[in-house]
Amino acid sequence: MLKASLIDPLVKSALKEDVGSKDITTSALISPNLTIKAEIEFKQSAVVCGMAIAERVFRLVDENLRFLPVAKDGEWAQNGREIAYIEGSGVSILIAERTALNFISHLSGVATKTKEFVDKIKGTQAVILDTRKTTPGLRVFEKYAVLVGGGTNHRFGLYDQALVKDNHLRILRKESLVDIVARTKRTLLTTTLVGIEVKNLRELEEALKSKANYVLLDNMSVEMVREAVAHKRRIGSKIDLEVSGGVNLDNVRAYAETGVERISVGALTHAAPSIDIALDIVGS
């Protein structure tokens, strides 16, 4: 569950973006004394995500609004399912409507896309991870949605894990991968994970001699990954292998069946389609 201290700053920013000085249409047409009832309905089947965020949208617009959720994050909602009821000032509900729907629609899309990938690899040892390919400013929400969909969070940013990537290696091309990992680890707490990216089996062989926590196999074919796993097992390495790049719903099962421990998928957050939902006025 996301804390209000994480939710409120992002919600306030979104409301400021949408409402500006005021809702000029609603203020011109709707009496501030009008009380209405509304419901939020899913227009397609999907994983629900973002209920607490939507509630904070309505509460920050008007603390007197009554928000009654009838679905929880992580639930599968069928097309036509009502997930929340709202009652109170018609002006306030109309002001909050789009921002609340945008959050639920987007985050439910991320959770649903994540569930699709997780379901595809059931029965294997692999986990589905997200990446840093997130919407600027919304990373905490999107990574929460990945968890709701059954996925696993990769590093949150540049501060909580070290990952030596291709551009680092181009700059440090005269150093060995073993030395690069050792130098990285010397500057960090012993509990901080360190990964290193490789693009071929030769680099993998060298990386597995290091003290990295995981090796990222960048844009390798399923067959190359299978060879990588076989080599790792042959030498008895305990370093986890992570597949990244070119993973989709059609091939993720094949990658998982190679025996890798980790599969990272940028599309969970950068390419998940929003879910079709609506707020309907049902009484006044």
Quote the pLDDT of residue 129.
98
Quote the pLDDT of residue 99.
98
Residue 156 CA from chain centroid, whole number? 10
Q: CA–CA separation, 142 vs 118, rounded Å?
A: 16
Domains of the chain: 4-112+272-283 (3.90.1170.20), 118-270 (3.20.20.70)
C-alpha torsion sign, points 30, 51, 149, 131: positive
* pLDDT at residue 284 is higher than 90: no
| Joined tokens for residue 197 | 């990216």
- State percent of the chain over pLDDT 70: 100
* pLDDT at residue 27 is higher than 90: yes
Q: How many CA atoms lie within 13 Å of 70's alpha carbon, on the beta-carbon side?
A: 12
Q: Using an 8 Å Cβ cutoff, are 157 and 132 in contact?
A: yes
* pLDDT at residue 21 is higher than 90: yes
Confidence band, pLDDT 50/70/90 cuts, at residue 4 = confident
Q: CA–CA separation, 175 vs 210, rounded Å?
A: 13
Average pLDDT of the segment spanning 194-223: 98
Quote the pLDDT of residue 101.
98
Average pLDDT over the chain, rounded to an integer: 97
Q: Using an 8 Å Cβ cutoff, are 55 and 6 in contact?
A: no
Residue 218 CA from chain centroid, whole number? 20
Q: CA–CA separation, 70 vs 87, rounded Å?
A: 14
Confidence band, pLDDT 50/70/90 cuts, at residue 1 = confident
Q: Using an 8 Å Cβ cutoff, are 218 and 244 in contact?
A: yes
Residues assigned a catalytic role: 98, 133, 165, 197, 218
Q: What is the pLDDT of residues 55-99, one digit of tens each?
A: 999 999 999 999 999 999 999 999 999 999 999 999 999 999 999
Residue found by looking up tokens 């994983």 in the block: 47
* Residues forming beta bridges with residue 281, ordered by sequence position: 38
Q: Locate all alpha helices (DSSP H) within the chain, ordered by sequence.
A: 4-19, 24-29, 51-61, 90-120, 139-148, 166-171, 177-186, 201-207, 222-235, 252-256, 267-270
Give the three-state DSSP class for 260: coil
Q: Using an 8 Å Cβ cutoff, are 155 and 195 in contact?
A: no
Q: Using an 8 Å Cβ cutoff, are 265 and 249 in contact?
A: no
Q: CA–CA separation, 86 vs 98, rounded Å?
A: 14
* Residues forming beta bridges with residue 215, ordered by sequence position: 196, 241
